[in-house]
Structure 1
Amino acid sequence: MENNPTGNFINQYQLNNGTEDSGRDTLRDYLVILRMHWVAIALIFAAAMCVTIVYILTATNYYSTTTSIKINKPQESILSSSIFTDFGGQQADRFIANEIDLMQTYPIRQKAAKFILDTLQTIEDKSALYYLYSDPENISQGFRTVESMAKLLSDIVAIDQKRGLDVVTLVAESPSPIEATIISNLYARAYSEYSLELSRKDLTNTISFLVKEKDRKMRDLNNAEASLEDFQKRSGLINLDVQSEQLVNSISELDKAKGYAQVEITGNQTKYNELSAEIKKIDPQLVTFLEGELSGKYVTDLQAKISELELQKSIELSNTQTQAVRDKIIGDYEQRLQPLRNSLNEKVMKLEEALYVQTPEERRELIQELLLAGVQRSESKSRLNIISGMLGKYEREFSLLPSQALELAKIERQRLSSEKLYLLLEEKYQEALINQNARIGNVLITDPARVPSQPSKPKKTIVLLAGVLIGLGLGFGYAFGRNYLDRSIKNPEEIEKKGVTILAWIPSIDTLKEFKGGSPDELVVLNKSTSTAAESFKALRTRVQFSKLEEKPLKSILVTSSIPGEGKTFVSSNLASSFAIDNKKVLLLDCDLRKPRLHNVFAADRFPGLSDYLFSHVELEDIIRDSQNENLKFITAGTIPPNPSELLGSVQMKKFLELLENKFDMIVIDSPPLISVTDSEILFAVTDGGILVAKAQKTPIDVVMKSANTVNNINPRNFLGCVLNDFNVKGSYGYYYNYYYYYSKPEQKANA
């Protein structure tokens, strides 16, 4: 049995389309329709107006209040000497978006809930309040708990950014104007205090770290000065010549940079370890992914180039005090540094977006901090490597000094290095102290909410106008709906008339439920083998087996649909089951790598699965699962990949299918809908046959024809035909109902 040739198929479709276009109603037909249904239109309009008037009279008035908050970008960490001009997640709009996500997290809602409940309970006239009570319709139930209020805030408070500004508006609604004002203002206060606490906590940790490092460097400086004084007494050599002094000054500048880079690495590593420990509780793979990206050649090369230029700039600046020369040096180096910084910024932004996709909203701030700490740690390590390399060059010059001058130069180098690093740490320490004492946070409440005098909703005029329009719309819709051409498929003949083969129709599960008196499992072939649905799948199995009479047997079958929700997974799983009960070794493969559902049918974990195997993360034995039938195995989709189409079209996928064909008698593949993505087209080209699933009363006939044309254009011999799913047999007529009645009623009588 072969499908119709592509040419006849398309011509038939075009012919039918032309007939349908010529039969559309004219304007006169529409007027006739309205006249015929004027009573129904009038009744529907009257009912709509009654509902509208009742709603206006009984609807609860809601008051809206708005608090405006200005959010400034936080200061850079004291220990950071970042090479970024503007870290990816801190750019204006992205930074504000991150802060809005933070404001919506549970810790801030919980803090706001405590403030709100404490304040509302102090109001004398509590009868005017609404959300204070756990049941506003029955205030005897008592006040809300903090947890209940925190959950409620996510529904009654809307947070948004003013377009183009670093201002966020916080809008609260309540039937009580006073309550709405309190909620809006105290939510803003909770966020402001939370932000300040985080900022001060970070500064406290930094100060503690700087104190330890500063004390250690002071001891090194004291030891170096004592050694210098002792040498000068012994040798009588007080000063170095100008060239030696300049060499020692350059080396000490590098020593200072090296020492501070080590301090930065220690501080950033400590913070990174703390944050990564928290992230690993969510998803350990995120930390591994970040480590791999930060240690990649592109990032490390950029950081090395930037660090080298920064150090060269610092050395040149240390050898001159003339402001004009210093300005020229800075300008020349910044011109070379800026393109490198921009490239690194762009890479970090992409990395941040990739991490955000895999992270829950409430944990994104933690991910951002981890990424920043990781980048700064990597940057410090790169700078340390560059400094060590540059020091090697100076060390060779240093070793050529006369022996006595060399000893003095070593001591002077140690003293200068310790002094410069100590002074740098002292500067950072004093800066941290000033910030801690002066820190008022980066959040400013610029416009607190005020008690509104008028409700914000319902807007009665608009509601009344909407009622008129809805009443007329529903009346006209009813009239035209009964005459308008419904393009969804009603029965198998509609598909056959288009020239497409119908392999089988599957009765509606609701119909089965009515006849059998229960909720059937999706695997009807295995769980209800005598049902009409199971018989339909057995018939489908037989027709599939004889749909292609060729030398090579049919080994792989693709099951797809035009649009989501047509039951392709239901059909593929039961088709595979029908082959399994026919004593064939069957593998059911989930190739829907976008919205997989096969694992739910078998109550199994989604991963490891197909994508994990194709990425060589697991072995074949790890992904093949057993089912309740020993002949039926299945493979789930696995981890959702970022590039499903490329993965399914890869060489690895083709080799994988060849491997499976050697191990199994039949492979049934569940794939994404054809209209949505190209995945099914890719798979159709590498399988032996394809089945298109359509759903009765849902799938438009035009969509089915478009899908059928698509697969016919790829390989008309491989298109086996259509399966009409969820066909309501009882609502049909003729031999469909007789067929169902014949096979269902005797079984019911036997069971009775």
Structure 2
Amino acid sequence: MNKPSLNGASNLSKNGINQSFKDTKDNLSNYISILRANLLPIILITLASIIITLIYVFNAKDIYKSYSTIKINRPQGSVLSSSLIPEFQDFITDRYISNEIEVLKSYKIREKVAENMIDTFKINQDKDKFYYLFNHSDEDNNSFVSVPALTDILSSIVKIDQKRGLDVVDIVVESPSRYEAMLVANLYATVYQSFSLELSREELTTLTRYLNEEKDNKFKDLAKAELDLEDYQKNGGLILLDAQVKNLVENISQLEAQKNAANIELSSKEKEYNSLSSEIARIDPTLVDFMNGKIDESYISEVQSKIAELESKRDIEASIPQDEKLRQKTLDEYNRKIEPLRKTFEEKIQVLKTSLYSNTPEDRRIVGQKLLEANVGVQSYRTKVNTLSKLLSKYEDQFSKLPSQSIEYAKLERNRKATEKLYLILEEKYQEAKINERIKLGTILVIAPSVLASKPSKPNRPLIVFLGVMLGLATSLGFAFARNYFDHTVKSPDEIENKGISVLSWIPAIDELKGGGQSEFIVANKPKSPASEAFKALRTRLQYAKLEETPIKTILLTSSVPSEGKTTISLNVAGSLAQMDKKVLLLDCDLRKPRIHNVFETDRYPGLSDYLFSNASLEEITRKTKLDNLSVITSGTIPPNPSELLASKQMKEFLEKMKGIYDFIVIDSPPYISVTDAEILFRITDGTILVLRAGKTPADAFFRTCEKLMKLDSHNFLGVVFNNFSYKSAYGYYYNYYYYYSKPEEKTKSNGVKISSDTRN
């Protein structure tokens, strides 16, 4: 088997590269042609965009931006906070900054800022420095806008931005007045700081009042317990308790004190929870049920119970007098047992967090979070109370086995100690709350007050102009390519040649015809013009269109649709052939809408149809022109059946007769698709030329016509003449070599052939 040669492989590779290069070049040429064809719309659209942009830029108000930066400190735990669930407390504080940002955005803060703005500047006379604060529509320009209106304005000019990963928040204000921007930014920070401080102190005041009431109640209980113990000793005598009984009494009193403290905190949390539940129930009752169901699930309650039990036992052991090393060892042992339970509880809480935020709408998450915190607190303290009650009942059983006299005394002593310990706890909490209330500085710190902006932040005029230019270019290019996409006409000879169809010539657009003042007979009137040179090139190609012994004598010109300029092409093809000293006949076979007689300003009849009906002689229908060797036969009387007449035996005999007289017969016919006349003539002529008009002929109609002609007789179909093709247009850029053969010339006199200026048929 022969192996392929290296030279063959190399040639294939080169051919592939050449084809790829050609495709790239064709695509690039096509894009350039589209841009050149739409150059004027591109320029106009881009200019319009630039003008609109410049008008906007010069009329846009300068906007100044001011910043006021605050630091939001995370709040310290409440004096009643428990260490049962520190992980959950971390979860709550993690959301604190987000909550405060929502508070900053709230209507309440904006309303307070609006009130402060108006109150601060009621006596200010420098009104021109402010934009939003005053009614500029008033004639005196001296009245303030209303508080609700200013509150709404603030929502659009104030933005709250948190610095990523920090507790620092920027209050950003934009206004046409730099003084107003600075004022609003500083007022916003001050109002929010005051609001936060007032709210914190109000909470502490409520807590202090509650602790004071509970402390006073326990003080009375302690006084009564001490009095009861004193009366018993007076009446029953002094009783000495042994060490075991004393230890039992100490443990019981310790547990009772813890239980009472837990009950107080439980009562506080229940009040908070009930208040939040009532508030949320009005908005979304299902949210309360969802929270309760999650917290009440057995695995959370079980873990809470174990933690509470171990912590209570640990606290009891810690209160028993013993060696410090032994005490620490005991505490460490309990902590090791508690630690895995805390991790388990943390995992359960994490699941609860995810469930909360995935099932709660964003606008209800903040209040839902508070409800979750209160709910977990209630369950935690309730579990602690239950655990302490169980431990206490065990000690009560031991206590009940003491001698009756010792029992009574021990009860009184236990009650006194428990009440005393609870009172001391409440006293400590009360003093702590009172101190916090007095020295409360708030959690908001203004770290960077706003200053007067030195220059506007926007509009960024250079950027806007640049974007305007880019938008104009993008819009204009989009228009150009969209226009090309929806333009289904044939625009360049390349489109035809790429389909394998021969282009005989491309006739340039004749500028003189647009004004209607010059002749269509270009080859006679302007023999050195580009159009005349194009017709001469067409004449030359017609002579070599068929490689046959019998030369072409009858040439049919048709088009796919009307108004392609085939009459003008027929006239000039006939004229260019006549200039070769050949006898030429121009025959008008468009028996439906004839136009040759109009071109020569002569009568339509007698003509071809009259001769075929034997109503006129050949001499009567043949008209000489003032161009040597060129004769014309018009259509004659329009018959009722043009197709039958053209397909008749008389027509064939007529053409055969004319072949004996003339060297060339140029036939003008109707459009091919419209009627069958052109197809009939196609079958009885030597060659056919299809005329199309650049940028006007629909591509589908043209290529459908070409396909039909080639199916009928591809040998007869000579090719295409591309009419009205502007060398100055985008698609004529690569065909302007015709200009090489032409020179500017003065208008010449007509050769005496009278024709009209209309080029369309």
What is the TM-score with the length of structure 1 in the denominator? 0.58
Taking the aligned partners of 1:119 and 1:340, their CA distance within structure 2 comes to: 57
Is it true that 1:76 corresponds to 2:77 in the alignment? yes
What displacement does 1:448 show? 0.8
Taking the aligned partners of 1:407 and 1:476, their CA distance within structure 2 comes to: 103
Which SS does the other structure have where 1:65 is aligned?
Answer: strand
Residue 371 of structure 1 aligns with which residue? 372
Which SS does the other structure have where 2:174 is aligned?
Answer: strand
Is it true that 1:408 corresponds to 2:422 in the alignment? no
Change (3 A) 1:246 1:470: same
Alignment of 1:430-441 (within 5 A): 430-441=431-442
Taking the aligned partners of 2:210 and 2:292, their CA distance within structure 1 comes to: 25
Taking the aligned partners of 1:86 and 1:116, their CA distance within structure 2 comes to: 43
Change (3 A) 1:317 1:191: same
Taking the aligned partners of 1:45 and 1:293, their CA distance within structure 2 comes to: 63
Taking the aligned partners of 2:190 and 2:289, their CA distance within structure 1 comes to: 37
What displacement does 1:293 show? 2.0
Q: Is the 8 A contact 1:261 1:384 kept in 2?
A: yes
Mean CA deviation greater in 98-107 or 57-66: 98-107
Change (3 A) 1:463 1:120: farther
1:308 partner letter: E
Is it true that 1:277 corresponds to 2:278 in the alignment? yes
Q: Is the 8 A contact 2:239 2:406 kept in 1?
A: no
Residue 711 of structure 2 aligns with which residue? none
Taking the aligned partners of 2:362 and 2:106, their CA distance within structure 1 comes to: 8
What displacement does 1:37 show? 2.2
Change (3 A) 1:444 1:333: farther
Taking the aligned partners of 1:295 and 1:439, their CA distance within structure 2 comes to: 36
Mean CA deviation greater in 199-208 or 162-171: 199-208
Taking the aligned partners of 1:369 and 1:329, their CA distance within structure 2 comes to: 37
Deviations along 1:360-400, one digit per CA (max 9) or x if unpaired, are 76665433332222221111111111111111222222223
What displacement does 1:258 show? 0.7
2:274 partner letter: N
Which SS does the other structure have where 2:159 is aligned?
Answer: strand
Alignment of 1:191-210 (within 5 A): 191-210=192-211
Residue 253 of structure 2 aligns with which residue? 252
Deviations along 1:567-594, one digit per CA (max 9) or x if unpaired, are xxxxxxxxxxxxxxxxxxxxxxxxxxxx
Aligned residue pairs, count? 465
Alignment of 1:634-649 (within 5 A): none
Alignment of 1:662-741 (within 5 A): none
Q: Is the 8 A contact 1:255 1:417 kept in 2?
A: yes
Taking the aligned partners of 1:99 and 1:339, their CA distance within structure 2 comes to: 34
Mean CA deviation greater in 52-61 or 323-332: 323-332
Mean CA deviation greater in 424-433 or 295-304: 295-304
Q: Is the 8 A contact 2:64 2:178 kept in 1?
A: yes
Residue 167 of structure 2 aligns with which residue? 166
What displacement does 1:355 show? 4.9
Taking the aligned partners of 2:128 and 2:95, their CA distance within structure 1 comes to: 42
For structure 1, the residue ranges without an aligned partner over 5 or more in a row are: 1-21, 487-752
Residue 241 of structure 1 aligns with which residue? 242
Residue 126 of structure 1 aligns with which residue? 127
Taking the aligned partners of 1:323 and 1:31, their CA distance within structure 2 comes to: 94
Change (3 A) 1:99 1:348: farther
Taking the aligned partners of 1:362 and 1:189, their CA distance within structure 2 comes to: 26
What displacement does 1:162 show? 0.8
Residue 424 of structure 2 aligns with which residue? 423
What displacement does 1:53 show? 1.8
Taking the aligned partners of 2:248 and 2:484, their CA distance within structure 1 comes to: 95
Alignment of 1:501-650 (within 5 A): none
2:443 partner letter: N
Residue 289 of structure 1 aligns with which residue? 290
Residue 478 of structure 2 aligns with which residue? 477
Taking the aligned partners of 1:228 and 1:118, their CA distance within structure 2 comes to: 65
1:206 partner letter: L
Taking the aligned partners of 1:148 and 1:353, their CA distance within structure 2 comes to: 40
What displacement does 1:74 show? 1.4
Taking the aligned partners of 1:321 and 1:72, their CA distance within structure 2 comes to: 42
Residue 710 of structure 2 aligns with which residue? none
Q: Is the 8 A contact 2:65 2:178 kept in 1?
A: yes
Between the two proteins, what is the percent identity of the paired residues? 44
Taking the aligned partners of 1:128 and 1:83, their CA distance within structure 2 comes to: 57
2:34 partner letter: I
Taking the aligned partners of 1:118 and 1:350, their CA distance within structure 2 comes to: 49
Is it true that 1:60 corresponds to 2:53 in the alignment? no
Q: Is the 8 A contact 1:134 1:145 kept in 2?
A: no
Taking the aligned partners of 1:87 and 1:471, their CA distance within structure 2 comes to: 57
Taking the aligned partners of 1:163 and 1:190, their CA distance within structure 2 comes to: 24
Residue 602 of structure 1 aligns with which residue? none
Residue 114 of structure 1 aligns with which residue? 115
What displacement does 1:422 show? 0.5
Taking the aligned partners of 1:469 and 1:389, their CA distance within structure 2 comes to: 79
Change (3 A) 1:86 1:183: farther
What displacement does 1:239 show? 3.7
What displacement does 1:132 show? 0.5
Residue 38 of structure 1 aligns with which residue? 39
Taking the aligned partners of 1:477 and 1:275, their CA distance within structure 2 comes to: 59
Residue 315 of structure 1 aligns with which residue? 316
Taking the aligned partners of 2:326 and 2:170, their CA distance within structure 1 comes to: 48
Deviations along 1:487-519, one digit per CA (max 9) or x if unpaired, are xxxxxxxxxxxxxxxxxxxxxxxxxxxxxxxxx
2:370 partner letter: E
Change (3 A) 1:478 1:103: same
What displacement does 1:320 show? 4.2
Is it true that 1:100 corresponds to 2:101 in the alignment? yes
Deviations along 1:145-203, one digit per CA (max 9) or x if unpaired, are 11112222121111011111111111001111111011111111221122122212221
Which SS does the other structure have where 2:407 is aligned?
Answer: helix
Mean CA deviation greater in 368-377 or 316-325: 316-325
Residue 225 of structure 1 aligns with which residue? 226
Is it true that 1:463 corresponds to 2:443 in the alignment? no
2:48 partner letter: A
What displacement does 1:42 show? 1.7
Residue 261 of structure 1 aligns with which residue? 262
Change (3 A) 1:192 1:391: same
1:452 partner letter: A
Which SS does the other structure have where 1:87 is aligned?
Answer: helix
What displacement does 1:139 show? 7.0
Deviations along 1:653-686, one digit per CA (max 9) or x if unpaired, are xxxxxxxxxxxxxxxxxxxxxxxxxxxxxxxxxx
CA RMSD in angstroms comes to 2.9
Deviations along 1:514-555, one digit per CA (max 9) or x if unpaired, are xxxxxxxxxxxxxxxxxxxxxxxxxxxxxxxxxxxxxxxxxx
2:164 partner letter: R
Deviations along 1:298-347, one digit per CA (max 9) or x if unpaired, are 22122212212221221121124765555555554444444444544454
2:259 partner letter: K
Change (3 A) 1:53 1:142: same
Q: Is the 8 A contact 1:88 1:346 kept in 2?
A: no
Which SS does the other structure have where 2:77 is aligned?
Answer: coil
Which SS does the other structure have where 2:173 is aligned?
Answer: strand
Change (3 A) 1:310 1:483: farther
1:121 partner letter: K
Change (3 A) 1:175 1:328: farther
Residue 190 of structure 2 aligns with which residue? 189
Change (3 A) 1:407 1:216: same
Residue 628 of structure 2 aligns with which residue? none
What displacement does 1:243 show? 2.0
Which SS does the other structure have where 1:303 is aligned?
Answer: helix
Taking the aligned partners of 1:109 and 1:406, their CA distance within structure 2 comes to: 66
Change (3 A) 1:469 1:153: same
Which SS does the other structure have where 2:441 is aligned?
Answer: coil
2:191 partner letter: A
What displacement does 1:255 show? 0.5
Taking the aligned partners of 1:346 and 1:459, their CA distance within structure 2 comes to: 51
